[in-house]
Amino acid sequence: MAFIEARNLRKLYGRGGNLVTAIGGLSFTIEAGEFVGIMGPSGAGKSTLLNLLATLDQPTSGEVLIDQENLTYLSKAALAKFRRQRLGFIFQDFNLLPGLTVEENIVLPLTLAHTPLAQIQTACQTVSRILGLTDLLTAAPDEISLGQQQRVACARAMITQPQLLFADEPTGSLDSQAATELLQYLTAINQREHTTILLVTHDAFTASFCQRIIFIKDGMLFAELRRQKTRAAFFQQVIDMQATIGGGQKYDLF
Amino acid sequence: MTFSKLLFKNVKQHLNESVAYLLACAIAIMIYFSFNVMTHAPHLVTLIAEPAQLLGVFAFAKVVICLLVLTFMAAANTVLLQQRRQELTLLKVLGSSRFSIASLFFLEQILFGGVALLLGVGLGLLLTRLFTLILLRFMQVTQVAPQFLFSWTALGQTVGIFCCFFLLMGLYDVLLIQRQPLRLRPDTNAADTTRWFTWPFALIGVVLTALGFGMAQKFFQTIQFYNRFFNTNSGLLVILASILGFVVLGLALIYRWSLPLLVRQLRRHQRWAYQGLRPVMLVNLRRDLHENAMALWVITLTIASTLVILGSIAMGREILQRSLDNTSPTAITVADDAFPAVQRTLKQEGIHVEADHVATFKLVPSAFQLQSFLRLHPMIETLPLTVISLSDYRQAQQFQPTLPRLQLTTGEGVILKQEANYFTLPLQTVTQTVHLKDPQVPQVKLVGISGQFAFGTLRYVSSGLVVADQTFAQLRDEGAVRYHALAFTQTQHSLTVSRQLLKQFDNRLIYFKATKNKLKRQAQRTTGAYTLPVLTARYPTQVSDQMGYGLLIYVCLFLSCVFMLVSGGMMLLKQLGNSSQLQQQYRLLTKIGLASVDLKKMIRWQVGFLFELPVLFGSCCAYFALHILSVLLFGTSLKLALFIAGGYVVVYGGFSHITTQLIWQRVTKKESRSDSFN
């Protein structure tokens, strides 16, 4: 049974004769425990799609169902509660709060949910051990490296043990080593915790860690790739598809 | 885009954040103009017995307004420019010359100034009638009808002065722009670090403030202790200066070190801090305290000063009223000799005398010692005492209900002394004998001291003495004088008659010649003679005092309004300056599941804390300062000062609410398309 279901999603911006279609009728499903990537050229509507799925934005028409719950008609407060309890977010620029320590940043979703202290401490220890942050808990975000900052963001997203993790260009600000480490962590989380991960990226290397990639162009579903063989082979497939989307010559011939 | 279009676009864009600045300036201009126009209204000036008093008070108030407004404008412009630093840098990066940017900001300033001036003067003109009405009510003047006031001179002066101020501010902006460093990203939070001196400074701040407040609360005892310990009489000044220094320095340390440290310690206490938005709120609070420590300190001190000034004026009024009751408790008090003439005049004028109390006063040479709490050594008084019998004293209680009840037996007495408050504490140490130079009554046993005089202080040469009737009868009669205290209702007519009588008996005195052992009445003044007035009237003095104090309270209330607006506006601007960081927090926190209502609650709490904290500390300071004043000024009440402190809480609460709304508007401002995940 589908864990995420997008039904004919449309998102328009502007008004009158100045309407811009960001998403033009997308429908797809994602199974529970899948690691899915969303790729497409700039302006394809990747981030808009992620915002709609993550309930941060309302679609102009269409519906989003997560775990068979229709989120389109929920109130703002109910959506906030849903995000707090069921979703995790990783952002390109980490979005850590600068005045808070690493530990305070990690436990923020739990404090917002008024979780008891003992539970917060246990969850923080677990997640920081998994992500190798145990020695950095008292540091300020600007005292640690970018890779470590992204791991903190990851820990913050994971601390509530969400069923669904959204990541928007999570490796965009990282060097290759830090990016690889983060993606390995995400893969481990996906396999160990069976967390459904939805990742938006431009980068073929990052996308090659996914099990399935949805390609969109101009707000429409363009293609879908499923990893069947090795990661290297999948990487090559992604590169080819990117060339197709970017130039379009190869597939336009047919 | 042309220069003028850019100018108007900028003004429109920044109108929201500048509205507090604009309104505070406009209201200050309005009050300045209303004061100015009143000093140019002859019918108001001539109301006061001494017109120079009115002109002087208004001139002082205008200077204070000018200083307040100038300080506010400079501080507000600095904050507003800091908020627009990115815009400035962008203009520079895009190739605008410093001159063109400076011209843009200069003209913006002039445009804002013009609007504030128009608004202020316009409101001033519209509301002059209301302001006059308030002034007349405060002065308890009913014979003059409030009316619209206008004066070209006042208008010219107001416009001229404030035009100069706005031009000055334009130049100040230009200077700030020239010195502005290039910066495209907003400042990040200051590091939350403690240094070796953080703890000592934080503790010293708390200890100094607590010590200052403690010394103020136990003012008498502290001075006594100091005087005894150092064997000196200078305790009063030293302790006053110490309290002031301790509190001023202590508060500065509290704002700069103690409160941030407290916040830091709260953050460490995870059981408390890991709840809801508290981690974020504590970080924001620490940043706000760090950035605004100096401003909060200045505002606290100014709130305290305003409350103390207003409180002491209210006290002054109360003291004046008490002093009036103590000086002339009835409508007319007249010596026996002049009584027939006064009675005739009152009858002719149709004034019904409701009561006529007669009392005899005897002047007796004396010597006694009193121990003051302020001095180590006893105070020796050798002036003649005016003695009154207990039955006359009790008669006076009918029209002076506040006179304390006395129980005296033969040979006992109670001293009546203006500064009785200073002698109340060490009563047991008082040398309890009054030596009288009278053969029948050589001494009286002192059983108490009172600050309230039966029949009014003017009936006494210096201090008074109440004795039992038997003792009074034994005293010699040479230095005796009988007074009639006449009571009648105050009307406009009785006021005029009282003034006439006062004029008629102006400077007429009763003389007493002092010889070696006694005092004797005589017809003419001689060297060393003691005097008592023939006639005193209550109402003319009362009306004049009411007018003077009404004027003072009116001016001080309006000045405190200007101060509330200026300081509130300043805090509002500073808070708005931090809204970009709150906006970032809002975007992140909503993504990770924070309900908007919780964030708004946090903003309200943060803003409210920063607004009410100076009011709390300022009110504490004012309470203790007024406590000292009330101790020194014979136990007057703190009601008005507390009422005004309540006013501050309400006005700052209003500012806090407006600031929360403005910040909330900014924070929740619609993000640009697809911005949510970026």
| Per-residue three-class SS string for B345-387 | HHHHCCCCCCEEEEEEEEEECEEEEECCCCCCCCEEECCCEEE
Residue B593 and residue A98: Cβ atoms within 8 Å?
no
Return the residue of A nearest to B587 by Cα. A95
B606 contact A CB<8A: no
For B311-327, write each residue's pLDDT tens digit.
887 777 777 777 788 88
Please give the pLDDT value at position A252: 41
C-alpha B56/C-alpha B35 separation (Å) is 11
For B547-562, write each residue's pLDDT tens digit.
888 888 888 888 888 8
**B366 within 8 A of B436, measured Cβ to Cβ:** yes
Return the residue of B nearest to A158 by Cα. B592
Burial tier of B393 (Cβ tally within 10 Å: 0-12, 13-18, 19+) = buried
* Chain B residues in contact with A110 (beta carbon < 8 A): 274
C-alpha B426/C-alpha B223 separation (Å) is 13
Residue B277 and residue A111: Cβ atoms within 8 Å?
yes
Per-residue pLDDT, averaged over B14-22, amounts to: 75
* Chain A residues in contact with B590 (beta carbon < 8 A): 56, 80
For B338-359, write each residue's pLDDT tens digit.
899 998 999 998 888 888 999 9
Of B275, B286, B593, the CB nearest to A109: B593
Residue A97 and residue B283: Cβ atoms within 8 Å?
yes
- Distance to chain A for B190, nearest Cα, Å: 8
Per-residue pLDDT, averaged over B616-626, amounts to: 89
The order of strands in the sheet holding A87-90 is: A87-90, A164-168, A196-200, A35-39, A212-217, A220-226
Please give the pLDDT value at position B373: 62
* Chain B residues in contact with A111 (beta carbon < 8 A): 274-279
**SS3 letters for B74-109?**
HHHHHHHHHHCHHHHHHHHHCCCCHHHHHHHHHHHH
Residue A92 and residue B678: Cβ atoms within 8 Å?
yes
Domain containing A146 equals 2-252
Of the candidate ranges B296-300, B371-375, B383-387, B474-478, the one whose mean pLDDT is the lowest: B371-375
Specify the higher pLDDT residue, B109 or A104.
A104
C-alpha B425/C-alpha B484 separation (Å) is 35
A22 contact B CB<8A: yes
Binned at pLDDT 50, 70 and 90, residue B1 comes out as low
B589 contact A CB<8A: yes
C-alpha B317/C-alpha B322 separation (Å) is 9
Q: Which of B192, B275, B674 is the best substitution to test chain A (most A C-beta atoms within 10 A)?
A: B674
Name the A residues in 60-79 with CB < 8 Å from any B CB: 76-77
Contacts of A252 (CB under 8 A, 6+ apart): none
Of B191, B270, B593, the CB nearest to A81: B593
Of the candidate ranges B12-21, B35-44, B71-80, B99-108, the one whose mean pLDDT is the lowest: B12-21
Q: B158: phi > 0 → left, psi -120 to 50 → alpha, else beta; which?
A: alpha
Binned at pLDDT 50, 70 and 90, residue A251 comes out as very low
Return the residue of A nearest to B590 by Cα. A80
B592 contact A CB<8A: yes
Residue A99 and residue B677: Cβ atoms within 8 Å?
no
* Chain A residues in contact with B287 (beta carbon < 8 A): 99
- Please determine, for the modelled complex, whether the ipTM score is greater than 0.90: no
- Tell me which DSSP letter residue B584 carries: H
A55 contact B CB<8A: no
Binned at pLDDT 50, 70 and 90, residue B183 comes out as low
- Output the CA torsion sign for B214, B215, B221, B225: positive
For B104-150, write each residue's pLDDT tens digit.
888 888 888 889 999 999 998 888 888 888 888 888 887 777 788 88
Residue A22 and residue B674: Cβ atoms within 8 Å?
yes
- Distance to chain B for A235, nearest Cα, Å: 26
Number of domains in chain A: 1
pTM beyond 0.80, yes or no? no
Residue A56 and residue B276: Cβ atoms within 8 Å?
no
- Distance to chain B for A90, nearest Cα, Å: 9
Is residue A254 predicted with pLDDT exceeding 70? Answer: no
C-alpha B516/C-alpha A219 separation (Å) is 117
Of A47, A89, A114, the CB nearest to B592: A89
Residue B287 and residue A99: Cβ atoms within 8 Å?
yes
B650 contact A CB<8A: no
Please give the pLDDT value at position A248: 46
Please give the pLDDT value at position B163: 92
Q: Which amino acid is at B601?
A: K
For A40-74, write each residue's pLDDT tens digit.
888 888 888 888 888 888 888 898 998 888 888 78
CATH number at residue A166: 3.40.50.300
Residue B595 and residue A81: Cβ atoms within 8 Å?
yes
Residue A47 and residue B588: Cβ atoms within 8 Å?
no
Is residue B390 predicted with pLDDT exceeding 50? Answer: yes
Of B189, B595, B676, the CB nearest to A56: B676
C-alpha B381/C-alpha B377 separation (Å) is 13
A103 contact B CB<8A: no
A49 contact B CB<8A: no
Please give the pLDDT value at position B431: 52
Please give the pLDDT value at position B182: 56
A234 contact B CB<8A: no
Pairing of the two strands A220-226 and B332-335: unpaired
Q: How many CB atoms lie within 10 A of CB B561?
A: 15
Is residue B411 predicted with pLDDT exceeding 50? Answer: yes
Is residue B459 predicted with pLDDT exceeding 70? Answer: yes
Contacts of B581 (CB under 8 A, 6+ apart): B186, B189, B284, B287
For A17-34, write each residue's pLDDT tens digit.
778 888 888 899 999 999
Binned at pLDDT 50, 70 and 90, residue B49 comes out as low
CB pairs under 8 A between A and B: 107
Pairing of the two strands A220-226 and A212-217: antiparallel
Please give the pLDDT value at position B674: 43
A104 contact B CB<8A: yes
B272 contact A CB<8A: no
For B466-510, write each residue's pLDDT tens digit.
999 999 999 888 888 999 999 988 888 888 899 888 888 877 888
Binned at pLDDT 50, 70 and 90, residue B193 comes out as low
Name the A residues in 118-137 with CB < 8 Å from any B CB: 120-121
Contacts of B613 (CB under 8 A, 6+ apart): B296, B300
Average pLDDT over chain B reads 83
For B60-97, write each residue's pLDDT tens digit.
888 988 988 888 888 888 878 877 777 777 777 777 77
* Chain A residues in contact with B678 (beta carbon < 8 A): 47, 91-93, 168
What phi and psi, each to the nearest 5 degrees, are found at residue B55? -60, -40
Is residue B396 predicted with pLDDT exceeding 80? Answer: yes
How many Å from the N-terminal Cα to the C-terminal Cα in chain A? 34
Please give the pLDDT value at position B50: 66
Burial tier of A96 (Cβ tally within 10 Å: 0-12, 13-18, 19+) = buried
Is residue B253 predicted with pLDDT exceeding 90? Answer: yes
Return the residue of A nearest to B193 by Cα. A140
Is residue B675 predicted with pLDDT exceeding 50? Answer: no
Return the residue of A nearest to B586 by Cα. A97
A82 contact B CB<8A: yes
Binned at pLDDT 50, 70 and 90, residue B215 comes out as very high
**A150 within 8 A of A156, measured Cβ to Cβ:** no
- Tell me which DSSP letter residue B254 carries: I
Residue A109 and residue B592: Cβ atoms within 8 Å?
yes
Place of tokens 């928007």: A168
Residue A80 and residue B678: Cβ atoms within 8 Å?
no
Return the residue of A nearest to B673 by Cα. A13
For B238-247, write each residue's pLDDT tens digit.
999 999 999 9
A11 contact B CB<8A: no
Q: Which of A104, A169, A200, A216 is the best substitution to test chain B (most B C-beta atoms within 10 A)?
A: A104
Residue B278 and residue A97: Cβ atoms within 8 Å?
no
* Chain A residues in contact with B286 (beta carbon < 8 A): 99
B488 CA to centre of own chain? 35
Residue B591 and residue A95: Cβ atoms within 8 Å?
yes
Residue B595 and residue A76: Cβ atoms within 8 Å?
yes
Contacts of B66 (CB under 8 A, 6+ apart): B32, B161, B165
Place of tokens 């949910």: A113
| Alpha-carbon distances of B677 from A63, B16, B74, B363, B534, rounded to whole Å | 20, 28, 40, 94, 91
